[in-house]
A and B are shown apart, each in its own frame.
Chain A
Amino acid sequence: MTALHELTVAELSKALRTRTLSSVELTRGYLARIAQHQPALNAFISVLHDAALAEAERADARLQAADSGPLVGVPIAHKDIFCTSGQKTTCGSRMLANFVSPYDATVVERLRAAGVVMLGKTNMDEFAMGSSNENSYYGPVHNPWDPGRVPGGSSGGSAAAVAARLAPAATATDTGGSIRQPAALCGVTGMKPTYGRVSRFGMIAFASSLDQAGLLTRSAEDSALLLGAMAGFDARDSTSVELPVPDYSATLEQSLKGVKIGLVKEFFDSGLDGENEQRIRAALEVLREQGATLREVSLPNLPLSVPTYYVVAPAECSSNLARFDGVRYGYRCDSPRDLLDLYRRSRGEGFGAEVKRRIMTGTYVLSAGYYDAYYLKAQRVRALISADFERAFHEVDVLIGPTTPTPAFELGAKTADPVTMYLNDIYTIGANLAGLPAISVPCGFVQGLPVGLQIIGPHFGEPKLFNVAHRYQLETDWHRRAPAGFA
């Protein structure tokens, strides 16, 4: 029999509902694995041992009462950016190290209502700013495939936890690639939905116009199942979209015959690791064999996405993070002399270097005299990039390319140069700027490290993304590989 922790959410769902497995048993198993591997991986900021078991008991009662919900009793982990009522919600920052949220984020609330069990809160780059998880106040997360390497970021804890089988699935957020990049680097499936598809209420804001909640799972099938429970209009988030949520699981198996796939020319132009490219080309061949047609498309403005993003995102973050002022909650410096001292020291001591760098960058680009040259220009370029995507989707159903230029790099390799670090997001940022859904699926290994295939769809094109990813996963087993020592 397969070990419990090797089962996917879809498989667990069946086992729980046929009562061949109890949620308490399952939850205990995962809590034990977390306890065992947390010291090596540091994937969690908090582990909710007792609360998880209590939830599992309630889930078992629901299952006993023949509750047919597919997620009842399934344990998952939440990125520590989602507010969880009565639990510490730190956002990876010293600023919120003492913050206990009085309420649940919509994502948490919906998944709770669906019956999932919350195992814990996963580690992350501080305020979701980073591509390596090295910016966490709680220390870096280690990549389960090679503990000397980064798991990617900012959702590094969620990706590492899923890859190491410390949770069957985890929520995450993606502002510039924070779900897809760690998914690629940890060999798991990472889904960033369309902007507005999942409520941002209760998800601590980094860059409001780019942030989107999503999932790290072991398969596209699991992602489809969970997204169905998370997504949908929320009156508490004005940017959430009032569109019905389709049954993502229902269309997973559709044939790929006639599906038009666009290869983004700019993704293959430069900077892409040669071996990585070979894996992508091989994956495309798999899809072609399934009946999909391939053609090259160009998104001429896409190369401008990194500089555009690094104006828009810091601008929004400089304002979003102003509320962390030491006045009402969170970190407050010792014996402030006066108001200015309270602000300066609370923020100076409470925030890490990368967060401060972005707040300063954002403050600069919004300042009088610079606003037009930076912020406004970036917004114009953003519109051009969106238009490029829109044109492409007149021709093709989905766009495909790599998720990252290289596999996981070594801890500390890029910390000295923020710009090199920023270039990690070169392939992922476009989807955020245009608000598009995108998924990263494992497509092989380069020197023993996983790499990801990115599939980008038009607005609300999640069903097609899940369909293509699932068909690919039916033909390949990259997503089933476990890192040594975690199988």
Chain B
Amino acid sequence: MEWETIIGLEIHAQLATRSKIFSGSATAYGAPPNAQANLVDLAYPGVLPVLNAEAVRMAVKFGLAINARVMRRSIFARKNYFYPDLPKGYQISQYELPIVCGGAVDIVLEDGTSKRIGVTRAHLEEDAGKSLHEGLAGLTGIDLNRAGTPLIEIVSEPHMHSAREAVAYLKKVHTLVRYLSICDGNMQEGSFRCDANVSVRTRGSEKLGTRAEIKNLNSFRFVEKAINYEVVRQIELLEAGGKIVQETRLYDSDRGETRSMRSKEEANDYRYFPDPDLLPLEIDQLYIDAVAATLPELPDQKAQRLIGEYGLSAYDAGVLTASAEFADYYEVVVRDLGGHAKLAANTVTGELAGLLNRDGLEIGDSRVDAHSLAGLLKRVADNTISGKIAKDVLEAMWQEGAQADAIIETRGLQQITDESAIERAIEAVMAANPAQLAAYRTGKDKLFGFFVGQVMKATSGKANPARLNELLKRKLGG
């Protein structure tokens, strides 16, 4: 039987406001427990919530960025349940009337085709606090620093059919919220996390299968692994004649499996109702227009522009625009370099990205700035050094913080373009390898590469490759 996977994601993105969504407490990460919890966050008797206008502005920005409808009127509702890290005994969220409805996000799949993932809604809500068990034998510690941090919950349509699509969508939303400067996207700190709704059905079937919701996935890798595990689990269960139960599951990253947390029957009845402490949120067109005017160039627009301006491939443009800072870096390099857009793209997405990744750095913390990288690529462009040598120079720049020209100069890395010097090296290599020479001359063309390698070795890689090819061909031919 052929199975089809259906996936929808609920993404929780913490909004990068300075204060909480309904109180004046700071939202900075890492403060001592409860240092950022005031009377409102502690739900003292008599306190009341006051909506943070900045959180609203950020949600509107998001709505506009995904071409959604920003609702003129939305309602905050109470989601009631008891938990020690939920001081009021209810979470203020939006239920029937969210601030953002509809909209879509385009993703590019591995084969280069793009796909549109619908967004059902996005709503504002407050985060809960944290319960801590470590080092507290028999006790639970409560840290309310996070309680009341603004979140936007972005609910997708069930439009994804594989873990890879889900990850591509999650990455795209991750990129988007950072472009919009509404979320720092830090997944380790929980600023950006998601729940995945996963179900399977036989291909061609109209009816959706029963879904399981996998809670609180906080890395792209976990999302992929958890979904893949869950899909296999569901298919195996169904093929063995079993039935999927609607339930909430947890992903255990140590064991790489999902397991049941609670079934639908055990689920809370949250008794949602409009929060009488907060008036309906009314937004007018003037406000929406004003927010729209502040939207930056978005990833898709930027990618289109890079393709048009620099003749990049869709793939390179996609990689470069994964973050606005990355794309900005690239554009500075190209501007300094005065062209050579493909060379710059290859270096930025290749060697530079490799170094950043190796050292766990963001582009903003790169040890080689865009101007310096352009300085290096200038020397490739004018044939002072080869691309291969450039890699070593970049590594040296990265380690020593020096400029490319200084490194090339002090280490004598300039390419050898002098024909006689290259010829001398070729002759020496030919003399040292008579057997190979003879074989080549009897038709073993493949040995050409061997000679190139030997000459490069002899010249410490500095021979100008084009010149070397030309001379070597002539000399070997006899």
Contacts and interface: CB of A to CB of B under 8 A. Distances in A.
B277 interface: yes
Interface size band for A: 35 or more
B43 to A, nearest CB: 4
A83 B45 contact: yes
B389 to A, nearest CB: 65
Interface string A195-218: 000001111110111000000000
B288 interface: no
A486 interface: no
A205 B46 contact: yes
B42 interface: yes
Given A102-B39, A208-B276, A327 B84 contact: yes
Interface in B265-324: 269, 271-273, 276-279
Main secondary structure of the interface of A (DSSP, over half): loop
B47 A319 contact: no
B45 A204 contact: yes
B45 A99 contact: yes
Nearest to B24: A236
Given A315-B273, A319-B80, A328 B50 contact: no
Interface string A69-107: 000000000000011000001010000100101110100
Interface stretch (A6-14, A301-309, A361-369): A361-369
Interface stretch (B86-94, B154-162, B166-174, B378-386): B86-94
B447 to A, nearest CB: 77
Contact of B46 (A201, A238, A315, A327): A201
Given A105-B46, A205-B46, A238 B278 contact: yes
Contact of B273 (A202, A319, A327): A319
B269 A202 contact: no
Given A89-B45, A236-B48, A319 B142 contact: no
Contact of A366 (B44, B48, B87, B273): B273
Contact of A316 (B47, B140, B276): B276
Contacts of B82: 322, 325, 343
Given A322-B90, A363-B271, A366-B273, A202 B78 contact: no
Given A239-B279, A319-B273, A327-B84, A204 B89 contact: no
B49 interface: yes
Interface string B146-190: 000000000000000000000000000000000000000000000
B45 A239 contact: no
Contacts, number: 98
Nearest to A375: B273
B45 A371 contact: no
B51 interface: yes
A191 B293 CA distance: 49
A237 interface: yes
Contacts of B142: 327
Interface string A10-54: 000000000000000000000000000000000000000000000
Contact of B89 (A91, A316, A322): A322
Interface string A365-404: 0111001000100000000000000000000000000000
Given A102-B39, A322-B82, A367-B271, A238 B45 contact: no
- Chain A to chain B: the 10 pairs with minimum beta-carbon distance, closest first: A322-B89, A209-B276, A366-B271, A208-B276, A323-B43, A202-B46, A204-B45, A83-B46, A204-B46, A368-B269
Given A315-B273, A366-B80, A367-B271, 20 more contacts: A83-B46, A89-B45, A105-B46, A200-B48, A201-B47, A205-B277, A208-B277, A209-B276, A238-B49, A238-B277, A318-B271, A319-B78, A319-B80, A319-B89, A325-B89, A328-B87, A330-B45, A366-B272, A366-B273, A367-B269
12 contacts: A89-B45, A99-B45, A208-B276, A236-B50, A237-B48, A238-B277, A318-B271, A319-B80, A319-B90, A323-B89, A343-B82, A371-B273
